[in-house]
Chains A and B, each alone.
Chain A
Amino acid sequence: MAQIFPKWTNQVPRKILIGLIVVLNAIIFGVWYFFSPEYTDVGYAPEQPVPYSHKLHVDQLGLDCQYCHTSTFDSKQANIPATQTCMNCHNQIKTDSDKLALVRESWETGKAIEWVRVHNLPDYAYFNHSAHTNVGVGCESCHGRIDKMEVVYQSEPLSMGWCLDCHREPEKYIRPVDEVTTMGYQVENQLEIGRELVDKKNVHAPTYCQGCHY
C-alpha cells in the first residue's frame, strides 16, 4: 500500500510545535512590552492650550519649579499655577503676544485655562507630592528633564513596578531636600550619600498596599 503521507510530513508536528512556541513567546513579549505603561504612556505629549515652554522659562530664564508649582512641598498636589502667576510677568513682558492671548483672556474673564493633564495616575493610587519632596525625591526623578522640554511629555512609565523600584531602594534615587528642584543633579557616590540621607530623613517608603491604595 502506498504511503498516504509523504516523508516530509514527519517533520510537521515538530515544526508546528516550534512555531507555536515562537508565536506564543511573541504574544507574551508583545503584551509584556506593548501593553506596558513604558510603551503606552512614556512620551505622551498632548498639545496644551497655551504653548508654554518649560525649556525657555526654566533652562534659559532660570525660574525655580516652585515659583509656579507652589504647593509641591505642602500638598498632595503640585498645583498648576493660577493665571495670576503668569500675569505677574506677562503684564509687562510680551503683553501683546498671540501665544498669550488665552492667558490674557483668562485673566480678564476669570475663566480657567484648560490645561491637559500629562502625568495621570489611576484613581485608586493616592500619590502625595509633599511626602516625596520633603524627603528628597527630586522633581526630575519622576518628571524627567523638564528644563529641556519644549512641550512637556511623560518621561517615566509611572507604573507600580516603577514606583516600587524606588520604594524598595530609595538610596539609589534620593537627594538632599535643597536639591529637589535641581535639574540634572548627579553625584558620583549616590549610594553612599543616598544611604546617609535615608538614615537622616528616617525614610521608610511603604511597600504595603495601603501606603498608596485606599
Chain B
Amino acid sequence: MNDLESTDRQMSEEVKETTYWKSLNELANNKEYQKFAEREFPENATELSDGVSRRGFLRVMGASVALAGLAACRRPVQKILPYSKQPEDVVPGVPLYYATAMPVQGNLVGLIAENHEGRPTKLEGNDMHPASRGGTSIFNQAAILGLYDPDRSQSPLKNGDKASKADFEAFAQSHFANTGQRIAFISEANSSPTYNNIKEQALSKFNNATWVTYEPFGEDNVVEGNRIAFGGRLRTHYNFENADVVVSLNDDFMSSTHPNSVEYAKQVSSRRKVTDTDGEMNRIYSVEDSFSLTGSYADHRLRLKASQMEAFTYALAAALSTRINGLSAFSGYSNEFSDHKWITVLADELAANAGRSALSAGSQHKPEVHAAVAAINNALGNTGSTVHYLEVPHLDEQSSTEAFADVVSEMKAGNIDTVVMVGVNPVFNAPADLDFENALSNVETVVNLSDYVDETSLKSTWHVNRAHFLEAWGDGYSFGGARSVIQPQIRPLHEGLSEIEFLKTIVTGSIESGYDLVRDTFRGYYRSGFDNRWTNILHDGIDTTGNFNDVNVRLSSGFSSAMNRATSNISSTSGMEVVIRPDATLYDGRYANLGWLQELPDPMTKVTWDNVALMSPATAEKLGIEEAGAGQDDYDVVEITVNGKSINIVAWIQPGHVDDAITLTTGYGREGIGRVASSYIDYTAGGVDVYPLRGTDNMLYASASVSKTGDTYEIACVQDHHSLEGRDMYRQASISEYQENPDFASFATVHTYEVPGMKEAEEMGEDDGPISLFDEQTYPDHEPQWGMAIDLNSCFGCGVCVIACQSENNIPVIGKKEVKRGREMHWIRNDRYYVGDDADSPQAVHQPVPCMHCELAPCEQVCPVAATTHSDDGMNQMTYNRCIGTRYCANNCPYKVRRFNFFNYPKEYLTTGDDPDIIQMAMNPEVTVRFRGVMEKCTYCAQRVNRAKIEAKNETGSPKPADGAVKTACQQACPADAIYFGDLTDDNSEVAKMKRNERNFQMLEELNTRPRTSYMAKLTNPNPALA
C-alpha cells in the first residue's frame, strides 16, 4: 500500500521535460483551453437542437455518401441478376484486382484497383511500379470518389446547352476541316506517348497551330534550370535511397502535392528504418518559409523567406566552391547569407558527404536557383548516385510559362481562331495579369475537355465531358520514366471521352476507340511477340522497357555567365511578402469537389474545408491578430493586396512560419463546379480563391500589404479536438541518445518509475501486465492475435491513412458545420504536435491514432448493452446493431478514438439525391453502412482480416493467415511504410518483431489498458554543429 502511495506522489510530482502541444492555446494552457479540453466533444457538439438543414447537408455530401441498408419493416424483395454469359474469371463475391495507373500532373503512379463485379471500389499502390512501390498519395486514394462524383460533367455542352457525343463528332468533322485556321492547343502536362503522337499529327495537319502546356504548378523552372546548367531541358529525378544527407531548399517533395511524392517518401523514409542500435539514418535539412511536411520530417529546419531562398542558394554554392571543384562560377561571391551559420554547416555537411548527398529546390523557384542546385549536385558528384537527369520526350522544347503567355497575348490580339483546351482550367488558375478570360472572349471557337463544367467550360463554345482515368484506356510514363498502360475498370459512366479520343476526334473528325489507339502505340514498340507483351504489361501494370534516357551531364559553357548575371541581379522583396502554393489537400483546385479531401485536415494547420493565410506568431502580433480562444471558431480576417488586387481571407497563426511573410494556398473559392467545392447557401465554406493575387512575375511570391479588416470568419479546425491533454503520448530521442540508452522509450525511463501495479502483479505471480480490476480475457490458441505497431520514425503526416480508411470503411463526409462541432468521423486521425516552448520555431511531429484495441478496454466496461466487446482474435469489436447510442464508451476512451453518428449521414442522401445509384457504387460492399445513433471506430479492417482468415482456413486448414496476408487499409496506403499489422502469436511476423524492439511503447501505458496498437518512438539525427 505504501508503494502505491509513493507511486501516486511520484506521478503528481513528475515534471515533464518536453512539451508537446497542438495549438497555441494548449501551449498557453489558459483556463479557456482547460475547460475546452475537459469536454469529450466541443460545446454544443452533443446537442441536436438545430438539425442540419437538409439542403445544406445534401450539398455538402456530394459523392461522399454511403449506401444505406433498406430500413423497411417489411421483408424487402431483392432481385438477383446473374450474367447472361458468364465472363471469364469473374466469381461473384470474389473481388478482382487489376493494374492501372493514375496520371498526376502528367506523371503516372501505378495502382491496383479492387473491382467488385465490374465496379471499382478501392485503389491501392502497385508494388511493382517504381512511382508507387505499394504506396499511394491522398490524391490516388481519393480518385475513386472522383469517379463516382455525381457532379462530374455528364454530357457535352454546346454554348451551355446539352448536346450529344455525336453532335460533337459532327462539329469536329466540319469545324476542323479547315486546316489553315489559327489554332491554339492548350494542354495539361501529359506523358502519354499516344497523346503526344496525336499531338504531332495535329501540329502537322493544322499548319497554323501552336501547342502550349499549361500547369499552374508545373516543373518548367526546374527544366529551365537544368538547361542553364547543362544545356538540355532535363528533368531532375532524385534517388534519396542513396543519400545520407538530404537538403531541401523550400522543396516539399514528400507532400502529395509533389508529382513524385510517393516514390520520394518511400526512399527518404527507407533510410530511417532503424531496427537496432547499430542502425544508421539519413540526415534531412529543410530551409523553408512555411511549415511543410518535409520540414516537419527534417532533423533541422531553418525558417527563411521564399524571396531569400535565391540568395541563400548562391551563398551555399559560393561556400561550397571553396571546398569542392566544379563551382568556379561562384568563387569569390558573397552576399548577406555568406556568414550565416547554416551556410557553413550545410557546406561542410554536403562536402563531407559528396556523392551521397542530395540538394533539392522547390519547383516554383526561379530557373537560376535550379541551375545553381544542379551545378552543386553535379560538383558534389551526386549525379548518377542520388540525382539523375532524365531526357523526357514529351516536355516542351521551350519554356512553357513563356509560351503560354505568348499564346494569351495572341488571343487578345485576335490572332487565334480556335482554342482547344485539354484538361486545363486557365480561366480559374491562369496568372491574373494575363486576364485569360478576357483573351478568351476574342476567340471565335473555344473547345474544352474537362472533368467538371468548370470556370473555363462555361466560357467555351464546346465543352466535352472527360472520361475518368478509371473509365478509359490510356498510357504514359511515371516521373522517373517507367512506362505503363492505364487500364480502365468500368465503361464510361457518362459516355465521356478520354483526352486521347478527344484529340484524335479533332484531328480525324471521327471518334476512335482509345483501346485501339493505345494498342497501336505499344505495337510500335515491339516488333515481335506483341500480344504476350501487351498481356504482361496489363497484368504487371508496368512495361519494363522504354525508360527515359539517363543523361550524362556536364556544365554548359554558358553557365558561369548565366550565374554571374543571376547573382548580380537577385530579386527579393522587402517587408511583407505573400507566397502562393498548391494546397496540401486540394492541390491547384482540381480536387476541390472531393469531399474526402475537403474534410481531410490540412497536415499542418488541421484546418478543414477552408484555406487560410498562414503567418508566424510575430507577424500576427504585428498585424494585431489574436489566436481565437480554444473552442471558438471566429477568426480574424485580413485583407491582402498584391499589385492592386485584394482578397479577404482568414489569418492563421502557424508556429514555425517565417516572419513577415504570408502563405496562401490555391484550389479554394471555386464557384459552380459542384456541390462540395462551391460555397453553399446556408453556411459559408469553400475558402477563398487566391489566384487573383498570382501574376506571371510573381508565380511564387510577391510583395504585399496586409491589414486586419475587423471581420471574423468561422473555421472548422480539428487541432484541439480529441486532445490527449498533454499526457505522455509521444516519445522521441536523437539517434545518439538511443545508442547510449536503447530503452529511452520505456515507461520507466520516461517517468523514472515502473508502471503502477506491475510490482503487485509480479508478487501475485502474473506476468501479463499490471494488476487490474477487470477480468482478463483468455484467447484461444487456434485464433491469431492481431496487433499493430506504428513507427513514428517513418510517419511524416501526409494523411493518406485517413483517406484510405475512409474509402475502405465507408466513412461519411459530414461537412464543415459538423466538423466544427467535433463530430468528424475519421477512424484514424493524425495528431500533429509542436514540440518545445518556442512558438516561433518549434519542431513538429505527427502521430496517427486509430483505435488501440485495448485488451482491457475501458469502453467495454461501460457499455450497458454489450455492443462493444472483445473478439477471440483480440480485437475490440463494435457491434452496430446492438448499439443504443449512450456514448458512454466514447467518454471512457482515454485515446478518444470513438466516433458517433449524430445524424444518419449516409441515408439522407440515398433517399433524396439526384443520382443516388452512382454514389452507392463507391461504397465497399464488405462493410456495413452505419445508421444514426450508432458508435463506430477503427475495426483493424475486420473485413480484410476475416477474408484472409477464411481464405487461409480454406487453403491450409488453419485460420491463421501467413504474415503479410492481411494489410489494413492505412498500412497498405502508407508511402512511408510506417504501419505494421499482423499476428502477434507468430514470433516471426513483422509486427511481433517491431513490438519486441526497444523503441516500442504504449500510449498511456499507466492506465493498464494494454493496447494492441503500440508506437515506435521517433528518432532524430541532429548535426552536433547545429545543436
Which residues of A are in contact with B by a Cβ distance under 8 Å? Answer: 40-41, 44, 46, 70-71, 73-77, 79-85, 106-107, 109-117, 120, 122-124, 126, 128-131, 134-135, 201-202, 204, 206, 208-211, 213-214
Judging by beta carbons under 8 Å apart, are B946 and A211 in contact? Answer: yes
Q: With A and B bound together, what is the CA distance between A76 and B949 in angstroms?
A: 13
Judging by beta carbons under 8 Å apart, are A204 and B783 in contact? Answer: yes
Q: With A and B bound together, what is the CA distance between A41 and B75 in angstroms?
A: 8
- Chain A residue contacts of B782, Cβ below 8 A: 202, 204
Judging by beta carbons under 8 Å apart, are A120 and B75 in contact? Answer: yes
Instruction: Name the distance in Å between A120's Cβ and chain B's nearest Cβ.
Output: 6
Judging by beta carbons under 8 Å apart, are A107 and B82 in contact? Answer: no
Segment among B84-92, B436-444, B621-629 that sits at the interface with chain A: B84-92
Total contacting residues, chain B, CB less than 8 A: 45
**B:65-101 near A, CB below 8 Å:** 69-70, 75-86, 91-94
Q: With A and B bound together, what is the CA distance between A106 and B81 in angstroms?
A: 11
- Chain A residue contacts of B75, Cβ below 8 A: 40-41, 44, 120
Q: With A and B bound together, what is the CA distance between A106 and B86 in angstroms?
A: 12
Segment among B133-141, B237-245, B249-257, B877-885 that sits at the interface with chain A: B877-885
Q: A77-B92, A204-B782 are in contact. Are A116 and B78 (CB under 8 A)?
A: yes
- Chain B residue contacts of A209, Cβ below 8 A: 869, 871, 877, 879, 882
Q: With A and B bound together, what is the CA distance between A210 and B929 in angstroms?
A: 15
Q: Which residue of A lies closest to B929 (CB)?
A: A123
Segment among B193-201, B326-334, B545-553, B953-961 that sits at the interface with chain A: B953-961
Q: With A and B bound together, what is the CA distance between A113 and B83 in angstroms?
A: 8
Judging by beta carbons under 8 Å apart, are B82 and A126 in contact? Answer: no
Judging by beta carbons under 8 Å apart, are B877 and A208 in contact? Answer: yes
- Chain A residue contacts of B953, Cβ below 8 A: 131, 134-135, 202
Instruction: Name the distance in Å between A151's Cβ and chain B's nearest Cβ.
Output: 15
- Chain B residue contacts of A79, Cβ below 8 A: 82, 91-93
Q: Kindly supply a per-residue 1/0 record for chain B positions 356-386, scoring 1 wherever the CB is within 8 Å of any chain A CB and 0 otherwise.
A: 0000000000000000000000000000000
Q: With A and B bound together, what is the CA distance between A201 and B958 in angstroms?
A: 9
- Listed by A's residue number, 9 A-B pairs whose Cβ atoms lie within 8 Å are A79-B93, A80-B80, A112-B82, A112-B84, A131-B953, A202-B959, A206-B871, A213-B881, A214-B943
Contact of A82 among B82, B875, B954 (CB under 8 A): B82
Contact of A131 among B70, B85, B879, B950 (CB under 8 A): B950
**B:940-971 near A, CB below 8 Å:** 942-943, 946, 950, 953-954, 957-959
Q: A124-B928, A214-B928 are in contact. Are A75 and B78 (CB under 8 A)?
A: no
Instruction: Name the distance in Å between B55's Cβ and chain A's nearest Cβ.
Output: 28
- Chain A residue contacts of B877, Cβ below 8 A: 208-210, 214
Q: A76-B93, A83-B82, A83-B83 are in contact. Are A201 and B950 (CB under 8 A)?
A: no
Q: With A and B bound together, what is the CA distance between A76 and B950 in angstroms?
A: 10
- Chain B residue contacts of A214, Cβ below 8 A: 877, 926-928, 939, 942-943, 946
Instruction: Name the distance in Å between A67's Cβ and chain B's nearest Cβ.
Output: 13
Judging by beta carbons under 8 Å apart, are B80 and A115 in contact? Answer: yes
Instruction: Name the distance in Å between A137's Cβ and chain B's nearest Cβ.
Output: 13
- Chain B residue contacts of A46, Cβ below 8 A: 77
- Chain B residue contacts of A202, Cβ below 8 A: 782, 953, 957-959
Which residues of B are in contact with A by a Cβ distance under 8 Å? Answer: 69-70, 75-86, 91-94, 780, 782-783, 869-872, 875, 877, 879-882, 926-929, 939, 942-943, 946, 950, 953-954, 957-959
Instruction: Name the distance in Å between B784's Cβ and chain A's nearest Cβ.
Output: 12
Q: Which residue of A lies closest to B70 (CB)?
A: A123
Judging by beta carbons under 8 Å apart, are A75 and B81 in contact? Answer: no
Q: Which residue of A lies closest to B959 (CB)?
A: A204
- Chain A residue contacts of B83, Cβ below 8 A: 82-84, 112
Q: With A and B bound together, what is the CA distance between A135 and B956 in angstroms?
A: 12
Known: A76-B93, A210-B939. 16 other contacts (CB 8 A): A71-B92, A71-B94, A74-B94, A75-B93, A79-B93, A84-B85, A117-B77, A117-B80, A120-B76, A122-B69, A134-B953, A134-B954, A202-B959, A206-B872, A209-B877, A210-B871
Judging by beta carbons under 8 Å apart, are A115 and B939 in contact? Answer: no
Interface contacts (Cβ under 8 Å), in number, total 138
Instruction: Name the distance in Å between B712's Cβ and chain A's nearest Cβ.
Output: 44
- Chain B residue contacts of A83, Cβ below 8 A: 82-85
Contact of A130 among B76, B82, B927, B954 (CB under 8 A): B954
Contact of B79 among A77, A115, A135 (CB under 8 A): A115
Q: Which residue of A lies closest to B872 (CB)?
A: A208
Instruction: Name the distance in Å between A44's Cβ and chain B's nearest Cβ.
Output: 7
- Chain B residue contacts of A81, Cβ below 8 A: 82
Q: With A and B bound together, what is the CA distance between A111 and B69 in angstroms?
A: 26
Q: With A and B bound together, what is the CA distance between A120 and B81 in angstroms?
A: 15
- Chain A residue contacts of B950, Cβ below 8 A: 76, 128, 130-131
Q: A213-B881, A214-B943 are in contact. Are A117 and B871 (CB under 8 A)?
A: no
Q: With A and B bound together, what is the CA distance between A198 and B479 in angstroms?
A: 55
Q: Which residue of B lies closest to A109 (CB)?
A: B84
- Chain A residue contacts of B86, Cβ below 8 A: 82, 84-85
Q: With A and B bound together, what is the CA distance between A146 and B82 in angstroms?
A: 20
Q: A77-B92, A120-B75, A210-B877 are in contact. Are A106 and B84 (CB under 8 A)?
A: yes
Judging by beta carbons under 8 Å apart, are A80 and B82 in contact? Answer: yes
Q: With A and B bound together, what is the CA distance between A115 and B83 in angstroms?
A: 11
- Chain A residue contacts of B880, Cβ below 8 A: 124, 213
- Chain A residue contacts of B85, Cβ below 8 A: 82-84, 110
Q: Which residue of A lies closest to B67 (CB)?
A: A123
Q: With A and B bound together, what is the CA distance between A213 and B15 in angstroms?
A: 45
Instruction: Name the distance in Å between A148's Cβ and chain B's nearest Cβ.
Output: 22
Q: With A and B bound together, what is the CA distance between A189 and B70 in angstroms?
A: 44
Q: With A and B bound together, what is the CA distance between A14 and B782 in angstroms?
A: 58
Contact of B69 among A124, A206, A213 (CB under 8 A): A124
Q: A75-B93, A123-B928, A134-B954 are in contact. Are A113 and B82 (CB under 8 A)?
A: yes
Judging by beta carbons under 8 Å apart, are A113 and B69 in contact? Answer: no
Q: With A and B bound together, what is the CA distance between A214 and B70 in angstroms?
A: 17
- Chain A residue contacts of B94, Cβ below 8 A: 71, 74-76
Instruction: Name the distance in Å between A154's Cβ and chain B's nearest Cβ.
Output: 10
Judging by beta carbons under 8 Å apart, are A120 and B84 in contact? Answer: no
Judging by beta carbons under 8 Å apart, are A120 and B939 in contact? Answer: no
Q: With A and B bound together, what is the CA distance between A74 and B872 in angstroms?
A: 25
Instruction: Name the distance in Å between B566's Cβ and chain A's nearest Cβ.
Output: 60
- Chain B residue contacts of A111, Cβ below 8 A: 84
Instruction: Name the distance in Å between A26's Cβ and chain B's nearest Cβ.
Output: 22
Judging by beta carbons under 8 Å apart, are B871 and A211 in contact? Answer: yes
Judging by beta carbons under 8 Å apart, are B78 and A120 in contact? Answer: yes
- Chain B residue contacts of A213, Cβ below 8 A: 879-881, 928
Q: Which residue of B lies closest to A200 (CB)?
A: B957
Instruction: Name the distance in Å between B942's Cβ and chain A's nearest Cβ.
Output: 4
Q: Which residue of B lies closest to A130 (CB)?
A: B954
Q: With A and B bound together, what is the CA distance between A110 and B86 in angstroms?
A: 10
- Chain A residue contacts of B946, Cβ below 8 A: 126, 128, 210-211, 214
Sorted nearest first, the 3 A-B pairs with minimum C-beta distance are A77-B93, A112-B81, A75-B93
Q: With A and B bound together, what is the CA distance between A14 and B317 in angstroms?
A: 104
Q: With A and B bound together, what is the CA distance between A213 and B868 in angstroms?
A: 12
- Chain A residue contacts of B77, Cβ below 8 A: 46, 116-117
- Chain B residue contacts of A201, Cβ below 8 A: 957
Q: With A and B bound together, what is the CA distance between A122 and B929 in angstroms?
A: 12
- Chain A residue contacts of B870, Cβ below 8 A: 208
- Chain A residue contacts of B871, Cβ below 8 A: 206, 208-211
Q: With A and B bound together, what is the CA distance between A134 and B950 in angstroms?
A: 10
Instruction: Name the distance in Å between B97's Cβ and chain A's nearest Cβ.
Output: 15
- Chain B residue contacts of A211, Cβ below 8 A: 871, 946
- Chain A residue contacts of B82, Cβ below 8 A: 79-83, 112-113, 115
Q: Which residue of A lies closest to B926 (CB)?
A: A126
Contact of B92 among A75, A116, A122, A123 (CB under 8 A): A75
Q: Which residue of A lies closest to B866 (CB)?
A: A209
Judging by beta carbons under 8 Å apart, are A114 and B79 in contact? Answer: yes
Q: With A and B bound together, what is the CA distance between A214 and B880 in angstroms?
A: 8
Q: With A and B bound together, what is the CA distance between A202 and B953 in angstroms?
A: 9
Q: Which residue of B lies closest to A107 (CB)?
A: B84
